[in-house]
Every structure is written in C-alpha cells, then in structure tokens.
Structure 1
Amino acid sequence: MTLQPKSDRRKRLFLTLAMALAAGSVLGTSGSAVAAPDDVRPAVTEGVQQVQQVGEEHAADIRIGYAARSARQVISKPGSAYIKVHFASLALADGDRVTVANPAGTEVHTYSGDPTRAEAAATDSLYTKQGDGFWALSITGDTAVVTLHRAGGKPSTSDTGLVVDKFTRGFTDEEQAQHDSGILSVCGTDARKDAVCYQQSHPTEYAKSRSVAKILKNGASHCTAWRVGSTNRLFTNNHCIASATEMASMEIWFDYACATCGGNNPKPAVKVTGAQFLKTSASLDYTLFSVNNFASIESFGYLLLDVRAPVQNERIYITGHGSGDPNELSVYEDTQGGATCDVDNPRSDSINMGYYCDTTGGSSGSPVLAASSHKVIALHHLGGCLNEGTRIELIYPEVKDLIDNGGGTDPPPTGGKFENTNNVNIPDAGAAITSDVTVTGQAGNAPSTLKVNVDIKHTWRGDLVIDLVAPDGTAYRLKNSSGNDSADNVITTYTVNASTEVANGTWKLKVQDVARYDTGYIDAWSLQF
C-alpha cells in the first residue's frame, strides 16, 4: 500500500451525504405502476464538504379519495434501493387506514390519520417530518404500494382521502458507485468487508458492529450512528444532525447488514426515528440523541467509551455504513491478513487522532474502537488519508451526565445464541403454528433473563397470541391478543425467567392468529442465553 505523507491532509472532507433535489415527477391515476423519470444529478464538488447523494426526490400527483375507482397506487423505480413516500394530506374516516408496503407485504407501515395533527392512533407506524405533511417510513426495494383500507363506515365531508405529492428513492448500485467519494478516504486498496465476514475470525469485533446503525436523512442522504451505553442514547456527528429539526427528518436503520459474506443480501432493517435532541457540538463534531421505539433495537447491544488518550500504533477498528452500504468492518488497512488498522497519529491536531483505516462517504459518525478494550476511542468524521476522528476523551466530559458508560453489563451476552430464520406462515384465524430452535452445548438450566428475539411480519399485530414453549412443554406467554392494536409487525425482545428449564433441547415459538382479515408470518426468532 502506498501511503500519502502523514502531513499531507489538505483534502479533508466531511463525510456526510447531503441531499440534492433533482427534478422529476410522476402522475398516478390508476392502480398500475408509476415509473419515475431518468435521474438528474448535480456536479460533485471536492473540497471542505464533499457532496455525495444516496438518493433523490421526485414530484408526484397521487390521489386516493373516497370516490376513486382504485384504492391502490404503486410507485416504482426499477433497481432503486428504497422508496420513501410523502403525504401532503391524509384525512380518513374513523376506522380507516392507509398502508405503505412492499409488493410482498413483508414490510408494511400503517397510518390511521395525519400524525402531525394528532389524528393518528398510538399504534400507528413511525414517520419523519420535513416541511409540511409527513413522510412514511421508507420501503426497502424499488416499489412501494400505497393502499386505502376501508372499514365500511360512511366518510364525512371532511374525509378526503390522501394526497402523495412526492417521494424519494435510493440510488441503484451503479448510480451509487458514481457518487462514491471514497477516493479521498480509502487509503490504498479498500479493505472494508461485510461485518458478517468476521463473525468467526473476529467474533468480538462482529458483535460490537451490531450496535451500529445507518441514518437516512431527508430521505436522500446518510451517515452512521451507534448506541452508547445501556440507555436510549445514540451518537453521530454534528455535521450529520445539527438540530432537532434535522433530527425529525431522519430514519435510523439497525441490523442493516448482509446475511452472508460478500452476498449482497442485506437483512430487513429495523427502522426507528429520532426522538430527543440531547446535546451537540460543532467544534467537536458530535450529536447525542435518542430514538422512538427504543425497545425494538435494545437487542442489538451497545458500545462503551474508552476515556483516555490514544496511543501511537495501538490497534483499532471501525464499523459503519460507508456509501450507505450494509454494515462493514475495517479491521485491516489494505489486505485481509495484512497490516491491521492502528493509530498513526494520536494527536493529528488539537481534537483529532489520525489513521489509515479505510472509510468513505457515509462513514461519518462511525465509532473507532480500541482493540485492547473494544470500546470507542474516537468518533470518525473526516476523510483524506489520514482519516480522522474526534478523540472521545474530549467528548466525554460534555456528555458524561447524559449517558451510561458502564453502569450496566457490557453486551452482547456471553451465552450462546440460537436462531431460526426460516419463514413460517401464520394462518388467518387458524390453528397455532410453531417454529423450532434446538439448543445444544449449554450447561445446566436456562437463565432467569432468557432473551427471546422475535421478528414477525403481520398486518394487524393485535390479532396475535405468542408463547415460548420450553423443551418440557411448559408455555411462557409473551404476548396476548389486543383488538385495538392495529399496528403492523412484532419486532421486539422479550425477557423470560426460564431458570427452572433445562437449557438444552428443542424450544418452540408458538403463534396463533385469533381474528380474521389480516395475515403474516414468522420471519425469524432467536434465543440468547
């Protein structure tokens, strides 16, 4: 690897991905697919702030009213990474709802009213806000289906249906490659690899990577964020999120990672939104914030801070979402099995430390971890070879009263994890079904804090009754049915006192749909001992 001189850091860039609005429109008048026009991309300027798009906005004119022939519209742009729909207005009769879903119905977001006008139900899906109206959570893939579901009641004169006036869509792989600013941040050969590639060779590094998330901001730009401490706290850069208004426009994607090494097969992300804007600093380039629906991301663990000065040549690694990609780890500087990433300059200036560990556009906000402690020693924010991160020893005094930096147990748990990722369909108002997980190699009984991670896709989760069944047949109720809970999906972690049960054997997740009209399936579930 040919390295630039360590004193030559003139080509610095903030690795935020700024949104660029491109002209384009769609017109939807029936239930057929609506294709977006060809892309229009602005020039990219090198220098202090490198602009790199991950998507773009398109105008639309999609209206579904109570007198319309079709209650379904499709927005599609082949090859797009995601579609994010904006509602200019939403006025529905009592009991009605709108869903934004992928064609297979495995990702569904439900809205019973305009959440910005306090008309939505507590069980409605999360949303983001930028300007008037509201944005539904994004749909992964190149097609989003917008559907008005009628409960049968008569609408009032004020119930007009919905208007979608625009959407954003994520670039195709080819388009994203054209926008990649990595030339200024990949030092030599790009040695970043899918996090799962290190699951066997570097299990601790892999485990820590699960605490890291992708930020999708304004529907078309992105950075990286990560959980700090056991409470609802996340870090990113100030140049990624500088205000509460900016935070309201962002989604945070956890578990957005490839299932197999090099497989280009990311798992469905667990998507949450920003809640509280807690603290920020432009000079140290950090922002601390919290998220909505924190329970859905607790199982991914968290990171702690290594509050000390970095040491010359100590080994480090970085995990993040450069170029908007599924989570990647930088363990080596150039080639696998070669020189490992290390601290090349402990004090490259008054706030930063420098390293040649590879990053790229979108890596902003990534944690830089010391291999000796597997704790965060810097917050990555600058590229240029040297790449640089703000030293955590400077950030910690400003946030120490807002975070837990060791008051709880540092996850992930040390016990084994056993998972079943095979889909099992749940019959509508039918008999209970089960999915098995076989546990081996565990000594004695299960713990009193057995974690049951559940991922069930369903269009009305209140229909579901869920039990964990131990090897001896004992059932532990995880969830009862609730007719008023109209939200989609059950993606959460339950804690079960299973200390009277022998750990080894076949455990079952038992699910029954007890009401008609909505369907779903078990996507995946696991036991963490």
Structure 2
Amino acid sequence: MTRLPLLLLALAGPAIAQDDSARPGPVLEAYVDGLIEARDIRIGAAERTGPSPVPWSDEISVPGSDYIRLHLRVEGPPFPPDATLRLLGALDQDVAIPLDRVGPDGMWSDLMPFGRARIALVAPTPIDPQSTLFIDQLMMQSTKITPYSVHGINQLTPINDAAVPADLRALGAPVAFLSFIEGGFARTCSGFLIGPDRLMTNEHCINSAATCASMTAVFGYEFDTEGRLGMGPQLRCRDFEAAQVNVTLDASVVTLTGAPGPEYGQVDLAMLGDAADGPMVVIQHPGPQPKQISFLDCDAGETRIAGRGPETDFTHTCDTAGGSSGAPIFDVSGRLVGLHHFGFQDGEAWDSNRGVHADRIQDWLSPDTTAYPAETPPE
C-alpha cells in the first residue's frame, strides 16, 4: 500500500505537574507542519478581464507540498451575493467561497491536497470596480523531519491496510485531520467526533478564537483498501467558547459548522474502557499524513500519574508522532480510554507516550456530550 514519509516535529511542552512519577522531557504532539508565505495576488477591476461569468482564473502550485491553503481578503465595496471564488483540487475538491462573506480581515480557504489548486472568480452579476479580492498569504506543508515517539521499529499503519482488523478499522471513521494556525505557523493535530457536530482535540491545539477561526477539520483523509488517497468534507470551527477548554486535562471541544456525525459516527463517551490494563489502539493523523493506526505492540503502562495535573495521565507504548495530539486511545473492544497528548524523543529521559484518562474528561463534560462542558477551565 502507498505510504507517505513520516513528517514529524513537536512543540516543546509546558512542564508537567511534579510528583514522584514525573520524568523530564515530554513534548506536546501538535505539529509545526509548514510555512505561511506572503503572496501578492490582486484581483481588481484591471485583472478581471475574462468573459462573464468567469472574469478571472489562475492556478497555484507548490511542488512537493502535501497541501496548501489560501488566505483571502476583500477591500472596497462588498462583492455581489452570487460572486464566489471556486477552488478545484486534485482529489475532486470543488469549493465555492461566497465572496460577500470575506471582509478586510480575511479568511483561510479549505485545504487543497498535493499543493495545487485551480482558482476561478465566478460572478454572474457585475462587480463594483472598486471591489478588490486579494490572495495575500499561502499556507504550505513543507516540513521534512525524522520520526520519533515510536518504540523500536515504527509500526504506524495506514488505517485501511489489509493487516488492520476490520473492527479496529471501523473505529477510525470519526477521526479527523486538523489544520490550523498558531504563532504564525501552520500546525496540525488530530481530533474525533463525540457528537453529531462536536469534535474533541487537545487544548494545546485549539485554545483560542484565532486557532478556532483558522481551523479546518478534514474527514475521510485516508488511503482506501486499493491504496487510493481520498478526502471527505472539511468543516470549520464555530465561535470559540472558553468553557469548552480544560487546560489541566489538555482537552478542547469545538462545535463544527456542519454535522458529520450521522455519516462518520461518533465516539461514545458514556462507554469507557480501563486505561490501566491491556492492549490499546490509537487512531491518528501523524504530521500531515492520511489517517493511520497504532495497534501493534500498543499497550498500557503506568496509570494515574501526573500530566498537566495530578493523576490525569497514563503511559502507553503505542507509536505516535507530531500531529497525533488529540487522537483517541481505545481498548481493543472499541471503548475510549484516553486522549493522546504527550510524546517523547529518542535519547531523552522521557521515554513514554501519554494520554489523559477518559474518565477524567467524562467527569468534566456535561452528561449530554453534545452540550457545553460543565466546568470552566482552570486559571
């Protein structure tokens, strides 16, 4: 089966809570995935010279990049309600962005795979000559780094590989690839549905109105059983709510702009397994890669040890990587046991991956997991 190279880098994490079991050196497994580069593509009256209804078109290509995203900004009078920017991608993406919703602060487009997109301004109604659309930034995947957070031989496996048991493969449908921006860098994490339109990830991934606004959650980004790469819907994060974030548990719950749950399923937080014992499964998007699974030599370790707070975490030997932050950890019966967030680097004193106990997260959430969490995060 086709495999992409592992592209792995993590952010240096904050110190964990100190107790006798704490060891130095954890890394949070959000992934610094690439660059944000300034562009100066102006689509004003002088550039809109094509015949109606497509007065302007172009193509953007970044060879070697797994994906790109475009930042759009409008100056002058608003565009007509029927004016859209169409983005056509390599995996049959056809995204229409209504330009009357793009203002001077701008917005990020969906993720376009393989680093290329055909672009067309579609405007059946005449556009005010003073209305100008800018493509002023380009996010591109670019990082090529050696893998880590694996125990011995890397055994991360594409989710639909023939070696993956069907019952474990089925657990992966609610897991999404997250692309977002923080600190001026393109970053990625993993996340998973816990309600029809509710997605859980780590606090160190989505933790502010800015990261929420820049996020796109990509479902179905995986190789199929024939090795063909596919990509499903991309959904955005709605208005950021501080009550949906818990710093101590490194957990964040966001409401999406659509409801993919009926199609992709959701993880049942009312049915939890025991993280203290037995083999485990982690389904994740390492780096910018399509969905993968760790299930070989993937076992529980120490339990009720310090993470960001006392007794929040457990250790595990499942292979992970930068970008695996926010991935669900299951037992082999398919019950959620944890939320992955810490990895390690070879040669450091810290030598284990860590997840947050699912029962601690369940206690924080309200009984109806489609509602807002019951408690505000700690100061």
Tell me the TM-score normalised to structure 1 length.
Answer: 0.58
What is the match of residue 12 of structure 2? Answer: none
The CA RMSD measured in Å over matched residues stands at 2.5
Larger Rg: 1
Residues 1:250 and 2:225 are matched in the alignment? no
Deviations 1:284-309 (A, max 9, x none): 10011111121x45311111234465
SS at match of 2:283: strand
What is the alpha-carbon distance in structure 1 between the residues aligned to residue 284 and residue 208 of structure 2? 22
Map residues 114-133 of structure 1 onto 2, 5 A cutoff.
114-117=100-103, 132-133=105-106
What is the match of residue 114 of structure 2? Answer: 141
Deviations 1:229-261 (A, max 9, x none): 4x3221100001112332111000111111137
Map residues 222-241 of structure 1 onto 2, 5 A cutoff.
222-229=188-195, 231-241=196-206
Counterpart among 344, 350, 353 of residue 387 in structure 1:
353
Query: Are residues 201 and 59 of structure 1, via their aligned partners in 2, closer, same or farther at CA, if it must alter by over 3 Å?
Result: closer
What is the match of residue 230 of structure 2? Answer: 267
* CA drift at 1:227: 0.8
Query: Are residues 157 and 142 of structure 1, via their aligned partners in 2, closer, same or farther at CA, if it must alter by over 3 Å?
Result: closer
Query: Are residues 381 and 114 of structure 1, via their aligned partners in 2, closer, same or farther at CA, if it must alter by over 3 Å?
Result: same
**Higher-RCO chain (CA-CA 8 Å, sequence separation at least 6):** 2
What is the match of residue 15 of structure 2? Answer: none
* CA drift at 1:332: 0.7
Counterpart among 155, 167, 186 of residue 127 in structure 2:
155
* CA drift at 1:186: 0.7
What is the alpha-carbon distance in structure 2 between the residues aligned to residue 276 and residue 92 of structure 1? 24
What is the alpha-carbon distance in structure 2 between the residues aligned to residue 304 and residue 188 of structure 1? 32
* CA drift at 1:346: 2.1
Deviations 1:387-435 (A, max 9, x none): 1101011111110334069xxxxxxxxxxxxxxxxxxxxxxxxxxxxxx
Counterpart among 82, 93, 96 of residue 67 in structure 2:
82
Map residues 360-399 of structure 1 onto 2, 5 A cutoff.
360-372=321-333, 374-384=334-344, 385-399=351-365
What is the alpha-carbon distance in structure 2 between the residues aligned to residue 345 and residue 375 of structure 1? 19
What is the alpha-carbon distance in structure 2 between the residues aligned to residue 352 and residue 291 of structure 1? 27
* CA drift at 1:88: 2.1
What is the alpha-carbon distance in structure 2 between the residues aligned to residue 320 and residue 15 of structure 1? 11
What is the match of residue 245 of structure 2? Answer: 280
Retained in 2: the 8 A contact 1:276–1:291?
no
What is the match of residue 88 of structure 2? Answer: 101
What is the alpha-carbon distance in structure 2 between the residues aligned to residue 187 and residue 105 of structure 1? 34
What is the match of residue 206 of structure 1? Answer: 169
Q: State, as a whole percentage, how many aligned pairs show the same letter.
A: 24
What is the match of residue 292 of structure 1? Answer: 257
Residues 1:14 and 2:1 are matched in the alignment? no
Counterpart among 20, 31, 35 of residue 56 in structure 1:
35
What is the alpha-carbon distance in structure 2 between the residues aligned to residue 239 and residue 365 of structure 1? 9
What is the alpha-carbon distance in structure 1 between the residues aligned to residue 81 and residue 293 of structure 2? 48
* CA drift at 1:269: 3.1
What is the alpha-carbon distance in structure 1 between the residues aligned to residue 160 and residue 151 of structure 2? 22
* CA drift at 1:58: 1.2
SS at match of 1:144: strand
Query: Are residues 94 and 16 of structure 1, via their aligned partners in 2, closer, same or farther at CA, if it must alter by over 3 Å?
Result: closer
What is the alpha-carbon distance in structure 2 between the residues aligned to residue 244 and residue 365 of structure 1? 18
What is the alpha-carbon distance in structure 2 between the residues aligned to residue 377 and residue 155 of structure 1? 54
Give the partner amino acid of 2:151.
C
What is the alpha-carbon distance in structure 2 between the residues aligned to residue 345 and residue 94 of structure 1? 57
SS at match of 1:394: helix
SS at match of 1:275: coil
Tell me the number of residue pairs that the alignment of Structure 1 and Structure 2 aligns: 327
Retained in 2: the 8 A contact 1:309–1:346?
no
Give the partner amino acid of 2:44.
G
SS at match of 2:230: coil
Query: Are residues 64 and 362 of structure 1, via their aligned partners in 2, closer, same or farther at CA, if it must alter by over 3 Å?
Result: same
Deviations 1:17-76 (A, max 9, x none): 2xxxxxxxxxxxxxxxxxxxxxxxxxxxxxxxxxxx222111111112233245112221
Deviations 1:501-524 (A, max 9, x none): xxxxxxxxxxxxxxxxxxxxxxxx
What is the alpha-carbon distance in structure 1 between the residues aligned to residue 135 and residue 164 of structure 2? 48
What is the alpha-carbon distance in structure 2 between the residues aligned to residue 211 and residue 196 of structure 1? 14
Tell me the TM-score normalised to structure 2 length.
Answer: 0.79
Residues 1:355 and 2:312 are matched in the alignment? no
Retained in 2: the 8 A contact 1:277–1:288?
no
* CA drift at 1:94: 5.3
What is the alpha-carbon distance in structure 2 between the residues aligned to residue 89 and residue 82 of structure 1? 24
SS at match of 1:323: coil
Query: Are residues 368 and 164 of structure 1, via their aligned partners in 2, closer, same or farther at CA, if it must alter by over 3 Å?
Result: same
SS at match of 2:222: coil
Query: Are residues 56 and 402 of structure 1, via their aligned partners in 2, closer, same or farther at CA, if it must alter by over 3 Å?
Result: farther
Deviations 1:185-216 (A, max 9, x none): 11111111001015x75111100111101100
